Amino acid sequence: MPGIHVDVEPWSHERQELRNARPVPRFFTPCRYPAGPIPVVVRLVWERDGVEVVRGRATAWTRQLVLVEVVDARLMVNGVWLALADVRRQASTESSSSTSSAST
C-alpha cells in the first residue's frame, strides 16, 4: 500500500525514560518575553544510554527545578523538569546558535 512502510521501526522504538526528570510542579515562573528562554547546558540521565550533557533552553523554573526545552527523539515531549543541580547557564562565550539540542 502506498505510503506505508512496514520495514521501518515505529518512532516509539527510540523512546527512553529520563531517570533525572522531575514531576511537573504545581506552581512555576515562566520566562519573560521578549528576552525569551535562557540558553543552558543540562545533564540528562537516560534509562539505557546513560549520562549525556546537552544544550537546551530554560523556559520556566521554581526555586528547586528548571523546565528545559530539549528536543530529542527519545522523549515523548520537548521539555523536561530537572533539578537545579542538573542545569547550568550556558557560558556567554559558547555559541548560542544551536541552543535547542546538541549532543556531546
More confident call, 102 vs 91: 91
pLDDT exceeds cutoff 50 at 102: no
CA distance 27 to 96: 29
Query: pLDDT, tens digit, for every residue of 32-91?
Result: 877 789 999 999 999 999 999 999 999 999 999 999 999 898 998 899 999 999 999 987
Query: pLDDT, tens digit, for every residue of 23-37?
Result: 999 999 888 877 789
DSSP letter for each residue of 14-25: G---BTTEEPPP
pTM of the model: 0.72
